Amino acid sequence: MDKARQLLAERERRKEKCHLIDCLQLADKIEILIADPSELAAIGIPSQSLARRVGRQIESLRNSLAHAQSFVEQDWPQIVRLTRRIHKMSHDL
């Protein structure tokens, strides 16, 4: 949280509009979500263990996309599953 607050202060100093949550890393956001069972239920994830597994998959996909790594054929089913899950979760909110 300290690093997120520092980043927020720097962005505010530069007159950039953002919120504290925008300054958190993906892993931090996932942990916050996992800590609240009602939030997990709202997005259709029944357990913390499943949420952690999905979170790791999302982080892995994000890292691959962010670092422009090429995908191999066997990656696509996971990409499609995660995309569908993220799409459903975003529409359930």
Supply the pLDDT for residue 48: 92
DSSP state of 92: H
* pLDDT above 70 as % of the chain: 88
State the average pLDDT over residues 19-46. 89
* 3-state helix vs strand vs coil in the chain, percent to 5: 75, 0, 25
pTM: predicted TM-score of the whole model, two decimal places = 0.65
